[in-house]
Amino acid sequence: MNKLPYFKIPNSPKNYSAGNVISKLLDGLGYRYYWATDGIKDIDLDYKTSEGARSTFEVLIHICDLTEGILKVAKQEIINPPFNFKKLTFDQVREKTLYNIETSSNIFKTKNNVELTNVELILETNNNLTKFPFWNVLVGPITDTGYHIGQVVAFRRASGNPMHQNVNAFLGYTKT
C-alpha cells in the first residue's frame, strides 16, 4: 500500500527562517487535507450545499489546482491554467494534492530569506506574463487552500460522515 504524506505533521525545524515557516504552514495544510479526505465516501464527494454550488469533489479539484500553483511558485515555474484535473479520480486527486504540498514544503524549507525575497508568482494568461510578489501567494493560494479544506470538513459533517474525531492539528498527530 502506498503511504501518503501527512498522516502526521513532520517534525519542526530547529530555526525560524522564512523558508521554514512557509514549509511548516504547508505541512499544517497537508495534515489537515490528509484527514479531511481520509475515509471520504461517494456520498461526501457528491455533496453540495445547493444546486449551483460546487460538490465536495469539485472543491477537492480546486484545492488540487491551488496546490499545483503553489508547487509551480516553489519551483519558480510559470503558472498557466487551467490545469486538467477534472479527469482524475478522487484517489488520484488526493495523492496529487498531498504530494504537491509535500514537494512545495520541501522546496521552501531550503530557501533562505534572501532567496525567498526573489520568489514570485508568474501567471500566464492569453500569452501575457504577470508577476506577483510572494506575499500574494500567502494571502492567495495558500490561505485559500486552508479555507477550502475547512469546506470539505464541513461538507463531510453535513453529509453524515464527519472526519476522524481524534485529529489534533495543534499537536500534529491523530490517535487512531
Ordered structural domains, the chain, with CATH = 18-163 (1.20.120.450)
CA distance 101 to 121: 16
The set of cell numbers assigned to 84 is 486538467
The set of cell numbers assigned to 149 is 479544506
pLDDT tens readout for residues 13-59:
999 999 999 999 999 999 999 999 999 999 999 999 999 999 999 99
Instruction: Give the Cβ contact number of residue 72 at 10 Å.
Output: 21
Please give the model's pTM, rounded to 2 decimal places.
Answer: 0.95
Average per-residue pLDDT for the chain: 94
